[in-house]
Structure 1
Amino acid sequence: MKEFTIAKNDAGQRLDRWLAKTLPLLPAPLAQKYIRLKRVKVNGKGSKRDVRLQVGDVLQLYINDEFFDRPTPENAFLSLYQPKLNILYEDEHILLLDKRPGLVVHPDETERVNTLLTHIQAYLYQKKEWSPYKENSFAPALCNRIDRNTGGIVIAAKTAEALRVMNQKIKDRELSKFYLCAVLGRMDPREGKLEGFIWKDEVKKQVYVRSRPQPGAKTAITLYKTLAVQNGLSLVECDLITGRTHQIRAQFAAAGHPLLGDGKYGSERENRKYGRHGQALYSYRLEFRFTTDAGPLEHLNSRSFQVEDVDFLKEYFPDFHLSQAQPER
């Protein structure tokens, strides 16, 4: 419990507005709940949210200590009252989430609060499964990442052991990730392999595909299969053999078939024609194919998970149903 005495500069304010100013990390809906539960007392008694505070009023706040901290990137999750997560699977070790396009996965210079990781932290904190205020507490972490404007499955580790095992499995390529994308034109052949070398320009945050090795360039291999062709677009399934930055977007653009809606590697004229903003790319299916012991994650071996819907299918491929997509085995 913390106690405050109202001074002249704070007098005249509504109780709920004083709380919002004094405890900026406390979400407004939670503040209202605490007032209703009488965990916020004015002069020793419960009060209403719209009561006007007077000089000398004594406020007693029965609220967790962490809400009295100053806002920082590390405690941004506290300000989220209803985390927005589409959970495909959860156990005591991991979460599999369907990230929607437009959501950034990690806090960055443009967004601190509304990120996938922050929503995960808020979710686990509110479930009392994680708290950064415990000594030596492990922080939930993402095992893979997806571009802001790409949707699809993201793996989050809830324990340090799960993070270690999953990161090793990804490194050893014991997971298969399948993507769906809409590309301009028809792929010829309809099924095949895109292979080359990707070099990243760190300044421009853009990658370039080369046909031959060069210093700093990394091998990039994508297997693809055309699933449908409609209205000048091809729906293509991709199996990433390597996982380079912007690999699918850059390789299909280099092959003459840029992704619909891709503002960096695609065609602005075609994007306007189809009315698409943001690349039509979705990591829609994940398969666990462990060949070595996975410890606490062994129960996931041979299992697969698929999202329920892909945002661009209904608009551009209305006759195609997600159940028709069958990844190579």
Structure 2
Amino acid sequence: MSELCNKYTAQDFKSDQEVRWCPGCGDHAILASVQKALPEVAEALNYTKERFTFVSGIGCSSRFPYYMNTYGFHSIHGRAAAIATGVKVANPKLSVWEITGDGDALAIGGNHFIHAVRRNIDINIILFNNEIYGLTKGQYSPTSKLGIITKTSPFGTVEHPFMPGEIVLGARGTFFARSLDVEVALTKDCMVAAAKHDGTSVVEVLQNCVIFNDGTHAGFVDREVREDRTIVLRHGEPMIFGKNKDKGLVLDVENMNLKVVKLGENGITEKDILVHNAKNPNPGIHMMLVNMKAPELPVALGVIRAVKDSTYDDNVRDQVLDVMKNAKIHSMDELLRSGDTWEVE
């Protein structure tokens, strides 16, 4: 505890374990982003390294705690949210990070995921989304695209996929951000923002599995199309994107949806473009943003929603203090001597 927080570097958060993900896996970039983010978080929040704890479930991403020089807990399939919740409630001073995948969080762990979000527990959930089960060798997951051919859907899936952001907002989530594994700096910024948020923060990272689902995000991640098919949202700034920064988003009032316009056409100027308000309690525009799909609309990246609300941790603390204040019994001895008592001689 003697180290100064502002002297940490990414190297301080790297363990001595060999990173054993497949070469080219997007998990490597996410790990680097988190290790770059934590020194900034430690300095901003005046945290020592001992306050960081990583909890994972089961899946390729769940090896994460081994690679962090922090406290960690490699738990069981789908239960990372439950254990992270327990860690946080037991020791509210810890900065708790849950590492999970699209299968671990949204299939077997779906119930725990939505209730962690609903309760607004002050934990940070990083959801690795490669739209496939990688560790168990290529079965389709809750986020796999409709029609995809996998080992468990040889003729194509007949299920519509989850949109993680839609689930978070539907569960009354207070923070949701999205990034790409290849955008290390943006992912780092999302992690820092998540750590500073008081309440459940969910950061979805669209990640590539080079073995079982290579290129699943290629339609908007490939370098030649990325700038025209993604938009990085920043609170208080107009929603402008494109290789030439000449495209923007406006509200199509007739259809109550977002649409892309081009600056300079039909008299469109920057003043006509929607300004991103991540702090708006009304999730309407946020829901539209998380559901945008390329190529018709750009995929929204960055912090999409960040609103204030009471947290589960604070509510539990306040309730305990209130009960203690108003309790008539304050010790075990008082409890044993309360009510009708007698002495056996």
TM normalised by structure 1 equals 0.26
Whose helix proportion is higher, 1 or 2?
2
Give the number of the structure with larger relative contact order, counting CA–CA contacts within 8 Å between residues 6 or more apart: 2
TM normalised by structure 2 equals 0.25
Whose strand proportion is higher, 1 or 2?
1
